[in-house]
Amino acid sequence: MNSRKISVQTRDLTKRFGRFTAVNRVSLQVYEGEIFGFLGANGAGKTTLIRMLTGLLKPSEGEGFVAGYDIWRQAEAIKRHIGYMSQRFSLYEDLTAEENLTFYGGIYGLNRRDIENRKRELFAHVGLQPFANQMTRDLPLGFKQRLALACALLHDPPIVFLDEPTSGVDPRARRNFWNLIYQTAQLGKTVFVTTHFMDEAEYCHRVGIMHMGKIIALGAPGRLKQKYRKSTMQDVFIELHRLSEEQA
């Protein structure tokens, strides 16, 4: 594992909003090709961390490197080398699925031929061919999520950040989306994904568990279950919560 290249690295990364600390000295490393899960309840600080890593939000303190670029000084380079599916992803409801991809291809500065090729590849990748000409507003949420992922992958970035991509859909659609995440990692991409569903931790190579802005556990799900002597990540999470209440 340690010989692998690092995709994302932070040290003591911190974000304060006024006197409130939303992300508190987060240090982590994510390796190339890894599916890294960032878990925590609502308000834990997941989106704030992602916004710093994607170059959208200046940190208050600490270091961060994404695809080799410095989040303090090279935000524009980072944006070109990552894909980002935000929590409230911004698809155009009154465009078709295909038109959304064409639109985002233009934003990323792809030429028309590349856009056509990528559209074909990505529709196959996310299983959306039958819906290419449907209005986005008529797609079920699970398919909108796939389309949003396709948009994030258009410029073929080595790293994708997915912020709660499985919120709001049923367990089967969640499972399907996770299959898609595996397939995306198999293309050699690093996937940094947040979720508040603890069962989804089981699907990640490694996870960071966040509580009130701090990472309270970091490692492979199997290791964490062993360490806390629990059989599911759900139980690990409950145990961690209990321990942090005890400390408070």
Ligand X SMILES: Nc1ncnc2c1ncn2[C@@H]1O[C@H](COP(=O)(O)OP(=O)(O)O)[C@@H](O)[C@H]1O
Burial of 59 from C-beta contacts in 10 A (0-12 / 13-18 / 19+): buried
> Least distance in Å: CB of 66 to ligand X?
17
* Shortest distance (Å) from residue 43 CB to ligand X: 4
Q: CA of 58: how far to CAs of 51, 70, 159, 213, 225, in Å?
A: 8, 11, 20, 16, 35
Cα–Cα dist 160/168, whole Å? 20
Between 112-126 and 141-153, two packed helices, what is the crossing angle to 10 degrees? 140
* Binder among 26, 36, 45, 64 for ligand X (CB under 6 A): 45
Q: Would you say 60 or 234 has its CB closer to ligand X? A: 60
- Pattern 167-206, binding to Mg ion, x per CB under 5 A? ----------------------------------------
- Calculate the CA 130 to chain-centre distance: 26
Number of residues that bind ligand X (CB under 6 A): 10
117 binds, among Mg ion, ligand X, none (CB under 5 to 8 A by kind): none
Handedness of CA 126, 131, 136, 141 (dihedral sign): negative
Of 14-22, 31-39, 46-54, 196-204, the window that binds Mg ion (rule: CB under 5 A) is 46-54
Note whether 17 binds ligand X by CB under 6 A.
Answer: yes
Among 180, 152, 225, CA closest to 35: 180
State in angstroms the smallest separation of the CB of 126 from ligand X: 24
Task: Report the distance separating Cα 152 and Cα 150, nearest Å.
Answer: 5
Q: In this structure, what is the dihedral angle of CA atoms 151, 157, 163, 169, given to the nearest 10 degrees?
A: 50
| Helical segments of the chain, H only | 46-53, 75-81, 97-107, 112-126, 141-153, 171-186, 221-227, 233-247
Per CB under 6 A, 158 contacts ligand X: no
With binding defined as CB under 6 A, does residue 209 bind ligand X? no
Smallest separation (angstroms) from Mg ion to the CB of 32: 25
Q: Which of 47, 100, 184, 190 binds Mg ion (CB under 5 A)?
A: 47
Using rule CB under 6 A, residue 46 touches ligand X = yes
Q: Would you count residue 48 as binding Mg ion (CB under 5 A)? A: no
Q: Which residues bind ligand X (CB under 6 A)?
A: 17, 22, 40, 42-48
Q: Which residues bind Mg ion (CB under 5 A)?
A: 46-47, 87
